[in-house]
Amino acid sequence: MIEPFPSSGIDLPSPTLSARLRELGDYLAAPSVGRLTEEQRALALGIARRLIADIAAQLDVGIDAAALWSDWLRGGVPSAQRIAVACFARAEEHRWRGQIAQLGRETPTADDAGAEIAEDAAEAISSDVDRTALALRIADRRRFDGQGNPCIALVDLDADVRRALLLDVAAWQLARSSADVDGAALLGEAVRSAIEAAPNDHGIDHAAAAYRAALGPDIGRASAIAIARHDWPSLIALAAVETQRSYGAMAIALLTAEIASLPALLAPLGLDRRTIAPLEVSLAMLPARAVSGANAGDEPAARLAAFSSFDGLPGDGA
Amino acid sequence: MTTERIVRARIDQSGTLVSADTPLLRLQQRAGGGLDRPLALPQLARLVALAQRLGREVTRPLYAADDHSDIHAIVRILPDDDGANLEISDWRTRPIVDPQRSLAAGAISDPRGWTWECDQQLRLVALRSGSDAPPVPAGWEGRSLSEVFELQPDDDGNFPVLRALARQAHFEGQRVRIATPDARVGMALSGDPVFDGTRRFTGFRGSVAPFEASDEAVVAPATDPAFGSLPLSDPQFGRRIDGALRGPLSRIIATAETISGQFDGPIRADYARYAGDIAHAGRHLLGLVDDLADLQNIERPGFKAARDEIDLGDLARRAVGLLAMKAEEKNIRIDAPRKDDLMPATGEFRRVLQILLNLIGNAIRYSPDHSQIWIRLDRESDRATVTVADQGQGMSAEDQTVVFNKFERLGRTDGGGSGLGLYIARRLALAMDGDLAVDSAPGQGARFTLSLPARDG
């Protein structure tokens, strides 16, 4: 009897077919689960591309980042699983923050009480708060490239992921110039120095912690102002410090939270329900949001949980 | 951007939008309306009212504009006893070109420049260099803009960035000097204001481009902010004039039509008439802008039209449908091809429709009342043709030699056209490997024949 399809153990004939069958398998396993939209896919892909280019530039040995990305697009990104969550978190944050520009006046803003909070914020603030708030904004702007596209600043990247990416990029370059012994030695040295280079203290997690420390007991008020102004980076930063998460982990926790669970998630900030309302509405209006909950025990959720664990601040030795 | 699908909507007897597909609903919302509220798009509301009054189907071009884009579409209104159904096809959106923004955007992509962002106190929060730009100075983070850049006044002694700060508005041409490791270089700063969710000003974001001696003219105070010092021959000029005029004109027309249609309540009849005149003049000017934009486009070296598979019979019927009301106003009968008359050809769908609208529109304009226009399809060897014949006053042999010339109006001085329509139509026909010819005699009407490569259907 002839088997209609190749049995297990036989290599599938093409990576495209293999990928599509995997995708179909995933789909059949959970048909009603929302998949990535084209926008989410494109944003995350762009963020990954810029991250790889930045890693290649950090090695500073004349790596052709365009050729590298082109190769990896065909054959797959070696550290795909490691960078997927970070790229997705950054992409979703960017979509959320872009919502206000796209919807303009249709976007809900603070109600009267919120507007009062925002107005009152014009009062004089301490120089420490001002300085650290500015540093937070500078750290946040590092998470965009020169054209305003979202990216992941290398100083914000998890050390293990950074190391893995450096090794992957170096391996690609080595394969490309295998005959060049001097080049290989130079590359090895570049990788070592890049890995050993301690991340500086300009990362967003460090800036968030400094801002929170400067605020002292005013953290609740600062959080309320951030919500009233739709200043999501400040809110994410403060909530991250208060819940002992990294900025990226807090962003994805907020972006995937059930609306009903927001008060509990932000409880450490001491905000009342009315203050949180503009945040609830804003998140509810974000299309194709991946709300967590039902599948908390599955593998992607486990990866998210791992991503969410607080691993200390870059440069703090934590 | 074009959407091929039909956008549908339903209006009730009182002119309220009761259902609408997303594109139209978004437009209605951006115009301040919504579902179960009166149609907030004046031109569309007027067409619906017209169709309901006449009790018959009306098909017309629809022009609308909002803060983001111009929208061109074709709307078909089917009135019934309880209201009307709307079918909108060929929905095309084109982003509004803001001349000031386009300058800034161009500079951002300049690899020799930098991009920057500051907070409301003009403290730098981002500074990046392009691939071919000098490196940014170290330690810029959080420093004042005027510390990092040495601001230079313009010829009137003003600082554009400071004026913009006071107005929280766009600025450009702020000359600055900056010390790089190699030398002190001159650059020009431009920026757009940034606002948060409560519309609170939070700073500027923009670009820094190299400032060369030849840039003096660009920042000279006598220069028009929309058109700069570009010569007429520069394609940028055409794009900017198009962007600068289209939006304001569309708004003038829409507002004048609202007043003329007395949608907000009755006004004096002569005022309504004046508003109608304003809308008419606005439409004429908009047509001229369209013609100039087309002219700029087709005279560009290497201009080529698309090669769509088209049916000249179908396109002729569409053109007649769009102009039927205009013909009816003069009691002109149009003998259009029957539904089963096919004439497969090759050409760009949109451009062929544009040519036919021009030919049939001219025929209506220059034909006497109660006359007839014929549209005939034919095939000669490898050429498919469509002929538009009228009973107008016709043309002499001398006029026929110049009728396709640019700005030629054969001595007419009325406000009917720019004198560019037939010139553009023929250029478009040639760009599609076709031709446009005229055959006429004084007192015997005119026959315009468009020929295109035939296709075996």
3-state secondary structure chain B: CEECCCEEEEEECCCEEEEECHHHHHHHHHCCCCCCEECCCHHHHHHHHHHHHHCCCEEEEEEEECCCEEEEEEEEEEEECCEEEEEEEEEEEEECCCHHHHHHHHHHCCCCCEEEEECCCCEEEEEEECCCCCCCCCCCCCCEHHHHCEECCCCCCCCHHHHHHHHCCCEEEEEEEEECCCCEEEEEEEEEEEECCCCCEEEEEEEEEECCHHHHHHHCCCCECCCECCCCCCHHHHHHHHHHHHHHHHHHHHHHHHHHCCCCCCCCHHHHHHHHHHHHHHHHHHHHHHHHHHHHHHCCCCCCCCCEEEEHHHHHHHHHHHHHHHHHHCCCEEECCCCCCCCEEEECHHHHHHHHHHHHHHHHHHCCCCCEEEEEEEEECCEEEEEEECCCCCCCHHHHHHCCCCCCCCCCCCCCCCCCHHHHHHHHHHHCCCEEEEEECCCCCEEEEEEEEECCC
> CB A138 to CB B130 under 8 A?
no
Average pLDDT of the segment spanning A41-55: 91
pLDDT at B322: 78
A221 vs A3, more confident: A221
Is some CB atom of chain B closer than 8 A to the CB atom of A231?
Answer: yes
pLDDT at A294 over 80: no
Q: Which of A164-168, B45-49, B142-146, B390-394 holds the top average pLDDT?
A: A164-168
pLDDT at residue A223, rounded to an integer: 95
The answer on pLDDT for A200 being more than 80 is no
A147:B141 CB<8 A: no
State whether residue A158 sits within 8 Å of chain B by CB.
Answer: no
Is A147 part of the contact surface with chain B (CB cutoff 8 Å)?
Answer: yes
B3 close to A (CB below 8 A): no
Is A4 part of a structural domain of the chain?
A: no
Q: Are B35 and B17 in contact (CB under 8 A)?
A: yes
Q: Which element (helix H / strand E) includes A277?
A: helix A273-285
Sorted by sequence, the CB contacts under 8 Å of residue A236 that are 6+ apart come out as A93, A247, A250, A251, A254
Dist CA A171 CA A169 (whole Å): 5
pLDDT beyond 90 at A14: no
Q: Flag whether pLDDT at B2 surpasses 90.
A: no
Tell me the mean pLDDT in the region B233-261. Answer: 68
Question: Which 8-state DSSP code applies to residue A3?
Answer: -
B279-294 pLDDT tens trace: 777 776 777 777 777 7
Band the pLDDT of B221: cuts 50, 70, 90. very low
- Asked if the C-beta of B119 comes within 8 angstroms of chain A's C-beta atoms, the answer is yes
Q: Which residue has the higher pLDDT, A24 or A106?
A: A24
Q: Which residues of B touch A135 (CB under 8 A)?
A: 141-142
Instruction: Quote the pLDDT of residue A295.
Output: 44
Structural domain of residue A151, as residue ranges? Answer: 38-164+200-308
For chain A, positions 18-77, list CB contacts with chain B under 8 A.
none
> Which residue among A104, A146, A231 sits closest to B128, beta carbon to beta carbon?
A146
The first and second tokens of residue B361, run together, are 């529109």
Q: Could you give the count of Cα atoms lying within 13 Å of A40 in the half-sphere of its Cβ?
A: 17
pLDDT at B99: 33
Please report, as a single letter, which amino acid is at residue A165: L
Q: How far apart are CA A92 and CA A108, in angstroms?
A: 19
Dump pLDDT digits (tens) for A52-104. 999 999 887 788 888 999 899 888 889 888 899 999 999 999 999 887 655 54
Q: In this prediction, what percent of chain A has a pLDDT beyond 90?
A: 39
Fold of B99-219: Beta-Lactamase (3.30.450)
| pLDDT tens digits, one per residue of B103-151 | 333 334 567 788 899 988 889 999 988 777 778 888 888 888 888 888 8
Asked whether residue A3 is domain-assigned, the answer is no
Is A13 within the bounds of a domain?
A: no
Closest partner residue to A138 (CB to CB) among B128, B130, B142 is B142
Q: How far apart are CA B292 and CA B244, in angstroms?
A: 13
Q: Is A50 a domain residue?
A: yes
Residue B336 has pLDDT above 50, yes or no: yes
**B341 pLDDT above the threshold of 70:** yes
Q: Out of A138-142, A301-305, B24-28, B70-74, pick the least confident.
A: A301-305
Confidence band (pLDDT; 50, 70, 90) for A107? Answer: very low
How many CB pairs below 8 A link A and B?
Answer: 54
Question: What's the mean pLDDT in A174-189?
Answer: 77
**B383 at interface of A, judged by CB pairs closer than 8 A:** no
Is A135 at the interface with chain B, CB within 8 A?
A: yes
Cβ <8 Å between A228 and B198: yes
Q: Which of B349, B232, B230 is nearest to B295 (CA)?
A: B232
Q: Is residue A250 part of a domain?
A: yes
Q: What is the pLDDT of residues A240-288, one digit of tens each?
A: 999 999 999 999 999 999 999 999 999 999 998 889 998 998 898 888 8
**Is the model's pLDDT at B213 over the cut of 60?**
no
Per-domain boundaries in chain B: 1-96, 99-219, 230-302, 308-453
Q: What is the dihedral of CA A22, A289, A265, A161, to 10 degrees?
A: 50
Q: Of the candidates A198, A202, A195, which has an alpha carbon nearest to the alpha carbon of residue A59?
A: A195
pLDDT on residue B414: 56
Mutate to test the interface with B, among A103, A128, A138 (most CBs of B within 10 A): A138
C-beta atoms of A134 and B126 within 8 A? no
Nearest to A138 among B114, B141, B198 (CB): B141
- Rounded to a whole number of angstroms, the distance from the CA of A192 to the nearest CA of chain B is 26
Residue A42 lies in a domain: yes
Dist CA B18 CA A97 (whole Å) = 32
Chain A: closest CA distance from residue B28 (Å) = 13
* pLDDT average, residue stretch B316-329: 84
- pLDDT bucket at A205, cuts 50 / 70 / 90: very high
Query: pTM (2 decimals)?
Result: 0.52
Residue A10 confidence (pLDDT) above 90: no
Of B128, B130, B197, the CB nearest to A229: B197
Domain B308-453: assigned CATH number: 3.30.565.10
> Residue B66 is which amino acid?
D
CA pair distance B118, B357, nearest whole angstrom? 51
A291 DSSP assignment: -
Top residue of A141, A142, A235 to mutate, by most chain B CBs within 10 Å, is A141
Average per-residue pLDDT in chain A?
A: 80
Question: Is A134 within 8 Å of B200 when comparing Cβ atoms?
Answer: no
A125 to chain B, any CB pair closer than 8 A? The answer is no
- The pLDDT tens digits of the residues spanning B6-40 come to 889 999 988 889 999 888 888 887 777 788 888 88
Q: Are B43 and B62 in contact (CB under 8 A)?
A: yes
Please state which CATH class domain B1-96 belongs to.
alpha beta
Which residues of chain A lie closer than 8 angstroms to B125, CB-CB?
A: 134, 137-138, 141
Q: How confident is the model at residue B234 (pLDDT cuts 50, 70, 90)?
A: low
Residue A89 lies in a domain: yes
With an 8 Å Cβ cutoff, is A109 touching chain B? Answer: yes
- Please indicate, yes or no, if residue A261 is contained in any of the structural domains: yes
CA distance B95 to chain A (A): 14
**Interface check B196 vs A, CB under 8 A:** yes
State the Cα–Cα distance between residues B34 and B41, nearest whole angstrom. Answer: 11
The domain tally of chain A equals 1
> Is the pLDDT confidence value at B225 over 70?
no
Return the closest-CA partner of residue A59 out of A72, A68, A48, A71. Answer: A68
Q: Does B396 touch chain A (CB under 8 A)?
A: no
Residue B200 contacts A, CB cutoff 8 Å: yes
Contact B196 A146 (CB under 8 A): no
CA of B180 vs chain A CAs: smallest distance (Å): 19
Domains B1-96 and B99-219 share a fold: yes
Q: What's the confidence (pLDDT) of residue A51?
A: 94
Distance in Å, alpha carbon of B109 to nearest chain A alpha carbon: 8
Question: Chain A: nearest CA to B67, how far in angstroms?
Answer: 11
CA distance A137 to chain B (A): 7
pLDDT at B395 over 80: yes
- Give B262-281 pLDDT, tens digit per residue: 766 677 777 777 777 777 77
